[in-house]
Amino acid sequence: MHSLLLLFSFVLLAPALLHAESRKPNIVIFLSDDVGYGEYGFQGNTEIPTPNIDSIAKNGVRFTQGYVSGPYCSPTRAGLLTGRYQTRFGHEFNGAPSAGFGLPLTEKTMANRLKALGYATVCIGKWHLGGPPDFLPMKRGFDEFYGTVANTAFFKPQAFVDSRKSAAVGPITEDGFYSTDAYADRAVDWIDRNQEKPFFLYLPFNAQHAPLQASDRYLARFAGITDEKRRTFAAMMSAMDDAVGRVLTKLREIHQEENTLIWFFSDNGGPTPSTTSKNGPLRGFKATTLEGGVRVPFCVQWKGHLPAGKTYDAPIIQLDILPTSLAAIGAKPETSWNLDGVNLLPFLTGETTAKPHETLYWRFGEQWAIRHGDWKLVAAKPDDNEVKLFDLAKDIGEANDRTASQPEKAKELKAAWDAWNAEQKPPLWPPNGGRKKQN
């Protein structure tokens, strides 16, 4: 009788077990905004607890040299979703609608790629890749969009879209609406509705971008911080950590945590004076090609597939997320896609000991940089774009210019950058659509 009960139980469980084994992994990307390299617990910040975000690094891999391809909001997003240097297709700056701003329609997104492979797709949060109808997420491979077109307030944001109701862009008028909390609500609801098939959740928070705004319940957590601006920054980060935690809890509830590749990173370095963001030991900040503008907090988790608690020290970049995610689901990018990112899986599992990238490049108007091995040649503010050479292995703070002692190395790197730059397209629009003030 006991044997019959065991057999009966196995028959009932077999379809679910088979489904779990055969189902492709889900992909989740959390993207924070304007958070410096020195923030988050997994980066050493003890002032603002971020246990949920830290758990991704604890249960996965923390990148000490995680980069983004642009030191600014929209360019980084364009590179992330295409797996290509955004300068290859002219998406060099933020822009205004009047300047024809938006991710060029010639480019396919990560959502396009995954939707073609049978994935449910959603973007929840700050889009910032164009506001006209043809540029919105619903036309770029996402089944749904719930969030802001670009930067806006956290309470009752303007330029908001809920594609379940309409494709129209308009204001939120609901009292008590706070975007970070609302994004968590929608993400949990969307996962619940789409749990029967593999899914791609892209959740780009507008936290910690200005304006600094937080609800009283989060401000109360940091009553001991006397600087009002820093206290609000801390409260916003705590709200974002709670939102991440709610998504992670939902994945566990539906028994999909082990079957989900989870990424977390920031879009650029922190704009320290305006928000109190800390870039740690790095020099520079948002909108510069110094390390403080392009090296960011970065981690990934895939339980049972990637090592837990690993620190990975070779340079990687957000362009790698697309090809790595495709590899995780057993798909291969076509040569015609011309991706610049690489599949990180064999590097993270130890299958190969080579570096994913020997050389990385940046161009942001008159500012530019190239990193080759540990050497970095950079022209950046606030140095009036004077070209300087740094050995990052010995000088993470970019304090000691080596151009005088290593002129041949500087010449070699400049020639390599020039060759790469010749492959890039001119910017499709001026910075911020020609506006003088940058946000």
Catalytic residue list: 73, 128
Contact 212/232 with Cβ under 8 angstroms? yes
Contact 239/66 with Cβ under 8 angstroms? no
Any idea of the CA torsion for 265, 297, 243, 158, to the nearest 10 degrees?
-70
The pair of three-digit structure tokens given for residue 145, joined into one six-digit string = 């969009």
The pair of three-digit structure tokens given for residue 328, joined into one six-digit string = 């995780």
Sheet bearing 375-379, strands edge to edge: 359-364, 367-372, 375-379, 387-391
| DSSP 8-state code for residue 134 | G
Q: Rounded CA gap, 205 and 211, in Å?
A: 13
End-to-end CA distance of the chain: 71
| DSSP 8-state code for residue 24 | P
Kindly provide the b/e burial profile for residues 162-199, where b requires at least 16 CB atoms within 10 angstroms of the residue's own CB: bbeeeeeeeebeeeeebbbbbbbebbbebbeebbeebb
Q: How far does CA 262 lie from the centroid of its chain?
A: 11
Q: Rounded CA gap, 240 and 234, in Å?
A: 10
Contact 293/365 with Cβ under 8 angstroms? no
The amino acid present at 243, given as its one-letter code, is A
**DSSP letter string over 293-358?**
HHB--EEEE-TTTS-TTEEE-S-EEGGGHHHHHHHHTT----GGG-------HHHHTTS--S-S-S
The pair of three-digit structure tokens given for residue 335, joined into one six-digit string = 């040569």
Match 């109360």 to its residue by tokens: 220
